[in-house]
A and B are shown apart, each in its own frame.
Chain A
Amino acid sequence: MPVPMVKRSQWSARQVRSELRGLLFVCPWLIGFLAWNIYPLLSSIYYSLTRYDIVRPPVFTGLTNYEYLFTGDNTFRLVLRNTLYYVGLSAPLGTVSAFLLAALLNSRIVGRSLFRAIFFIPAIVPAVVTAMVWRFLLNVHFGVINATLRGLGLRTIPFLSSPDLAVPSLILIHMWAQGSVMVIFLATLQDVPRSLLDAATVDGANAWQKFRHVTIPICSPVILFALVTGFIGGFQTFTLPWLLTQGGPNQATEFYALYLYRNAFEYLTMGRACALAWILFVIIVVFTVMLFKSTGRFVYYAGA
């Protein structure tokens, strides 16, 4: 857009008016930004340095909350481990499965839009319904999978009731609901320049080589983007573990957001919850920066 060239120091009455008019239009967002972003971020720094049960006024305790979390709190360490395990698998697997589905759909296929709908719909099903349905499906006694196994005389699989299988089961459900990412990949794949693929064909590349050396590099910025949002979302995963396993069995699915929720709303240790929130913020920022830095070599930016 053309931006009018004006000298920085001069403010004519007209400019003041247009400045105010602009501010007036964006003021809903500006007020919201201060009220729902800046103020909470800053006030939570303060609260994280206090002991606060929301009933009595906060008591300043310095770094006690952070000290406790990092040195005294065994649950915090367990929660970090669980979360890293979940995120480390769910983000890459979710991204890869969405990409493969999109690649599979990105060719001439009869009933392509029907297949796309089938793979997409789980992403818009309410999380509560997803939880109810999978709880039922994976149930040891009444679930269709275990009922089939039992019918065949095989051993049943305690998907959600075994500490070893609970996290993999949650990852499976996460992968089922990756339709949005798939749609984004599909749009990206359709933008892969035909001329590049044709050029590779001329050079004698087979389908796999074209996929590996043309399609994937072209899509790599979007893959990285999906991966980053997958990580950010994974660190904050709450509803499905909350509804499916309540953090169990044996605290195997007690993830970061669940522990934060419990601190705030079950133990009423608001100060510690705010400290947890800030640590989460730092973890997410560091993770995102690291991911961008470490993948720089593998990501191809056209035009860069």
Chain B
Amino acid sequence: MTDRAVPSAFTSRAPGAPRRVRTPRAAALIAQIAKYVVLVILAASYMLPLYWMVTSALKDDPQVYRIPPVWFPNPAHWENFLNAWTAGVLDFNLYLVNTVARYALPCTIGAVLSSALVAYGFARLRWRMRDLLFSICLMTMMVPGWVTLVPLFITFKKLGWVNTYLPLVVPAWFGNAYFIFMLRQFFLTIPQELSDAARIDGAGELSILFRIILPLSKPALAVVTLFQFMWAWNDFLGPLIYVSRREHWPLTRGIEYLRSQTLQSGIHELAFPYLMAVSTIVTLPIIITFFLAQRTFIEGISLTGLKA
């Protein structure tokens, strides 16, 4: 970053002059070392919970309870992952299918399509009520979720949607203010000439959106897709309220149920290793996606991050 800075007349030094006159080299070195020590200690303590999750998943019962704690499981029981996932009373394969097919996927498709349509109306069309409606749209970000939760439940109950995923999926098809805002900002950066040229060729607005705007907006669409999918994948409260039938549960409810079954009244055999194994499997796709798509995450966070 320093090399991009414009050196002012005062800061530019004669070649060979000492970098900093007032700070002795030794003090600077100590400060550097102290910084790394603090960083490494902090990083280690931030990592500890997830490290403990993964290593505990590999342990057997004596290892889990041993004092002093076992930091490197030996022998490592890799079969725990498979057994915890399939061999228990709970069918996590079913919960995985539910999470993806009933919840995350339909939510994501709906959120991307509807938010893109709305954002196009706010970004690329000229009409009188546009700016007024857009500012109302931004204001809806401020409404706390817990304020509308109960009346919405009453509404969905009347519609007969309780015990289905409809209350969680259908609203996603009506656009999300965060995504609309983000896509609008992105659409605004696309040159108007591209749309104008297409209009002269007789293209309608919808085909401009799908043939020109969306193909140019892949980074923004990736953020929407990623975040909506992750929110649904991680969601616990929504399914807690609306999805009570066990064969419809998502993974998050399965994990909580596994805990209540194996740890509530007495501790079952391999309770902790299995619970940590399932937790690891559910977390792993997110962490892998993060490392594959760091930029998408970071960009999305700066726009929607405080919501999650």
Residues in chain A within 8 A of chain B (CB atoms): 1, 3-4, 6, 15, 18-19, 21-26, 28-33, 35-37, 39-41, 43-44, 47, 52, 54, 101, 104, 107, 109, 113, 115, 117-130, 132-137, 142, 144, 147-148, 150-151, 176, 180-181, 183-184, 187, 190, 194-195, 198-199, 201-202, 225-226, 229, 232-233, 235-236, 238-239, 243, 256-257, 260, 264-265, 270, 273-274, 277-278, 280-281, 284
With A132-B255, A133-B49 known, 18 other A-B pairs at CB within 8 A are: A3-B131, A25-B125, A33-B136, A43-B154, A101-B42, A122-B50, A123-B308, A124-B234, A126-B234, A126-B252, A129-B283, A133-B50, A176-B46, A198-B5, A198-B7, A202-B11, A235-B144, A265-B241
Contact between B65 and A125, CB atoms less than 8 A apart = no
B80 to chain A: which residues have CB within 8 Å?
A: none
Closest 9 CB pairs of A and B: A32-B174, A25-B121, A22-B127, A180-B305, A40-B151, A29-B175, A151-B68, A44-B151, A126-B234
Cα–Cα distance between A86 and B39 once the two chains are bound (Å): 27
Contact between B118 and A278, CB atoms less than 8 A apart = no
Partner of B126, one of A18, A104, A135: A18
Cα–Cα distance between A104 and B10 once the two chains are bound (Å): 27
Cα–Cα distance between A273 and B5 once the two chains are bound (Å): 56
Q: A22-B127, A23-B129 are in contact. Are A129 and B255 (CB under 8 A)?
A: yes
Partner of A280, one of B117, B147, B155, B282: B147
Query: Which residue of B has the minimal Cβ distance to A136?
Result: B272
CB-defined A-B contacts under 8 Å, sample of 8: A28-B117, A40-B148, A41-B147, A115-B43, A125-B286, A132-B279, A194-B6, A264-B150
Q: Does B29 contact A (CB under 8 A)?
A: no
Q: Does B256 contact A (CB under 8 A)?
A: yes
Cα–Cα distance between A274 and B147 once the two chains are bound (Å): 8
Contact between A19 and B276, CB atoms less than 8 A apart = no
Q: Does B237 contact A (CB under 8 A)?
A: yes
Q: A148-B68, A274-B150, A278-B147 are in contact. Are A33 and B137 (CB under 8 A)?
A: yes
Contact between A124 and B230, CB atoms less than 8 A apart = yes
A29 to chain B: which residues have CB within 8 Å?
A: 114, 118, 137, 174-175, 177, 180
A149 CB to closest chain B CB (Å) equals 10
Contact between A280 and B144, CB atoms less than 8 A apart = yes
B308 to chain A: which residues have CB within 8 Å?
A: 123-124, 180
A134 to chain B: which residues have CB within 8 Å?
A: 49
Cα–Cα distance between A273 and B149 once the two chains are bound (Å): 10
Cα–Cα distance between A200 and B166 once the two chains are bound (Å): 58
Query: Which residue of B has the minimal Cβ distance to A46?
Result: B151
Chain B binding surface, main DSSP class: helix
Residues in chain B within 8 A of chain A (CB atoms): 1-2, 4-8, 10-11, 35-36, 38-39, 42-43, 46-50, 52-53, 56, 64-69, 114, 117-118, 120-122, 125-131, 133, 136-137, 140, 143-155, 157, 171, 173-175, 177, 180, 188, 205, 230, 233-234, 236-237, 241, 252, 255-256, 259, 272, 275-276, 279, 282-283, 286-287, 290-291, 294, 297-298, 301-302, 305-306, 308
Contact between A19 and B129, CB atoms less than 8 A apart = yes
Contact between B151 and A41, CB atoms less than 8 A apart = yes
Cα–Cα distance between A83 and B133 once the two chains are bound (Å): 35
Contact between B68 and A26, CB atoms less than 8 A apart = no
Cα–Cα distance between A274 and B155 once the two chains are bound (Å): 13
Contact between B146 and A236, CB atoms less than 8 A apart = yes
Contact between A25 and B118, CB atoms less than 8 A apart = yes
Q: A109-B39, A243-B236, A257-B146 are in contact. Are A126 and B286 (CB under 8 A)?
A: yes
